[in-house]
Amino acid sequence: MVLLAGIALFWPLPSIAKQSISYAPDNAPWRIGLQKWEAPAYPYLAKLYRCQGRAVFRVTVNPATGAPAQIVMLKSTNFGILDTSAVLALRAWRWVPGTRKQFDIPIVFTLSSDYPKHPAGTSVLPRSPR
| Every domain of the chain and the residues it spans | 16-124
User: For the domain 16-124, what is the CATH code?
Assistant: 3.30.2420.10
Predicted confidence at residue 19, as pLDDT, reads: 46
Below-50 pLDDT ranges, the chain: 2-21, 128-130
Say what the pLDDT of residue 121 is. 55
Neighbours of 117 (CB within 10 A): 8
Nearest CA to 95 out of 57, 127, 69 is that of 69
